[in-house]
């Protein structure tokens, strides 16, 4: 058994594991895919103090930093169940899909999230070649260009407002008959002169020239007509889904959107169980935030362990 078991090997998990290892606690890190979402990222320009890096390079750097410590790294393990400790200071257990199970006095959950995909032709082919999911990350790459934002909820309308300040033109596409964002955001969006809003519009294809995105097809759901918009970028904003399905029956408190509820110290409702990063209710999902949150959860685990002896 470990003193600390980190589940998830993205920026939040790496940071948490390094912090508890530096406190001298026996630490294990188990993850389906080390590096997490960072592995799927091309250019990263907002990891402060590193003006430019690339996902696989940052993932390798996370791994190298973990290897500096006596951290037991267990890749390719998919957690399926959390069994919380029966008493304060006791052992919680995590069961994996291969039947293995690990025990630790403190568990730090950092299983991240995934962007919901449109599932239309061209989306997969042009990922990172014009199809993007994170306006904070990739918005500046489209300076002066034409982009679409798919999704008229709060995140879509916020993204469109953000992008309207940076890019040349924004087309917002919403499937429903009206936008679902807060009125104050909708009013703000309508005040831009470089924004078109199409409602009752179903995105049917992302088009490209084989190398990069050159447009988008959508169906007008009222007339049934198919239209094509020429543009260079498509931001998909139809939801970020936390990887927390496996925690549903554990007694861990999740928000209505499935995010792990944490307090300002990264503590969950279960004693000894902490969480960090995109899987949690922390606002703004970013690498630098996930790392900060991971270190915070780790320091809270440390605090818990020194106050609660094993029974
Ligand atoms: P993740 O990176 O999602 O890591 C989750 C970890 O948990 C992974 O190791 C995963 O395999 C593991 N896991 C999940 N479920 C289980 C399970 N059941 N059992 C075991 N392990 C599990 N942010 C920026 O700051 N700048 C950018 O430029 C940027 N660009 C991005 C581009 C793309 C295409 C994407 C998808 C995201 C981008 N982000 C960017 C967001 C950033 O990647 C995330 O905010 C960050 O990776 C979150 O870190 P995390 O550790 O919380 O979770």
DSSP letter string, 183-213? HHHHHHHHT-TTEEEE-SEEEEEEEESSSSE
* 81 and 171 share one domain: no
282 CB-near residues (< 8 Å, 6+ apart): 262, 276, 289, 293
Same domain, 138 and 219: yes
Ligand 1 midpoint to CA 69 (Å): 22
One domain, residues 97 and 144:
no
Q: Identify the CATH number of the domain in which residue 158 sits.
A: 3.50.50.60
Task: Determine the Cα–Cα distance for residues 49 and 130; give it in Å rounded to an integer.
Answer: 26
Q: What is the pLDDT of residue 81?
A: 98
Pocket of ligand 1 (CB under 6 A): 7-13, 31-34, 36-38, 40-41, 44, 46, 77-79, 110-113, 115, 133-134, 137, 243, 246, 277-279, 285-288, 290
67 closest CA partner among 27, 32, 104: 27
Q: Compute the distance between CA of residue 94 and CA of residue 107 in angstroms, rounded to an integer.
A: 9
pLDDT digits (tens, 9 = 90+) for 192-218: 999 999 999 999 999 999 999 999 999
12 is in an annotated binding site: yes
Coil vs helix vs strand at 276:
coil
From start to end of 48-144, where are the E strands?
53-54, 71-75, 79-83, 92-96, 101-109, 113-115, 131-132
Q: Binding residue per annotation — 277?
A: yes
pLDDT of amino acid 42: 80
In ligand 1, the atom with minimum distance to the C-alpha of 128 is 34
The number of the ligand 1 atom at minimal distance from the alpha carbon of 37 is 2
Q: How far is the CA of 265 from the centre of ligand 1 (A)?
A: 21
User: Where among 236, 271, 290 does a domain terminate?
Assistant: 236
Give residue 11's domain range. Answer: 2-115+240-307
Q: What is the per-residue pLDDT for 246?
A: 98
Q: Minimal CA–CA distance to 26: which of 77, 71, 62?
A: 71
Number of domains observed in the structure of the chain: 2
For residues 12 and 105, state if they share a domain: yes
Residue 50 pLDDT: 96
User: Each residue of 75-104: pLDDT tens digit?
Assistant: 999 999 999 999 999 999 999 999 999 999
Task: Give me the pLDDT at residue 160, please.
Answer: 98
The answer on 179 and 75 residing in a single domain is no
Q: Are residues 197 and 265 in the same domain?
A: no
CA of 225 to the centre of ligand 1 (A): 38
Q: What are the Cα distances from residue 96, in Å, to 77, 110, 161, 224, 280?
A: 6, 15, 42, 47, 21
The pLDDT score that the predictor gives to residue 134 is: 92
Last residue of a domain, one of 184, 218, 236: 236
Instruction: For residue 125, tell me if it sits in a domain.
Output: no
pTM: 0.93
Query: Domain check: are 17 and 111 in the same one?
Result: yes
Listed residues 175, 204, 236: the one ending a domain: 236
pLDDT beneath 70: ranges in the chain: none
Q: Could you give phi then psi for residue 137, rounded to 5 degrees?
A: -85, -50
């Amino acid at each position: 058994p470990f003193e600390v078991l980190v589940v998830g090997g993205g920026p939040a998990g790496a940071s948490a594991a390094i912090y508890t290892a530096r406190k001298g606690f026996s630490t294990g890190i188990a993850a389906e895919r080390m590096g997490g979402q960072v592995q799927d990222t091309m250019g990263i320009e907002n990891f402060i103090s590193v003006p430019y890096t690339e996902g696989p390079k940052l993932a390798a750097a996370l791994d190298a930093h973990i290897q500096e410590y006596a951290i037991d790294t267990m890749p390719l393990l998919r957690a399926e169940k959390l069994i919380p400790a029966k008493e304060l200071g006791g052992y919680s257990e995590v069961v994996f899909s291969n039947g293995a199970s690990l025990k630790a006095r403190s568990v730090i959950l950092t299983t991240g999230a995934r962007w919901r995909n449109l599932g239309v032709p061209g989306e997969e082919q042009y990922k990172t070649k014009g199809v993007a999911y994170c306006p904070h990350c990739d918005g500046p790459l489209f300076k002066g260009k034409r982009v679409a934002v798919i999704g008229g909820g709060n995140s879509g309308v916020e993204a469109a407002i953000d992008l309207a300040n940076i890019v040349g033109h924004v087309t917002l596409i919403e499937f429903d008959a009206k936008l679902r964002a807060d009125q104050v955001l909708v009013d703000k969006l309508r005040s831009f002169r470089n924004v078109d809003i199409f409602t009752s519009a179903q995105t049917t294809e992302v088009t490209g020239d084989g190398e990069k995105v050159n447009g988008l097809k959508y169906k007008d759901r009222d007339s049934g007509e198919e239209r094509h918009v020429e543009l260079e970028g498509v931001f998909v904003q139809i939801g970020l889904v936390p990887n927390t399905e496996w925690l549903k029956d554990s007694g861990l408190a999740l928000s209505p959107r499935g995010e792990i509820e944490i307090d300002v110290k990264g503590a969950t409702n279960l004693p000894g169980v902490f969480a960090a990063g995109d899987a949690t209710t922390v606002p703004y999902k970013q690498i630098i935030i996930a790392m900060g949150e991971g270190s915070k959860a780790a320091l809270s685990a440390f605090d818990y362990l020194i106050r609660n002896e094993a029974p």
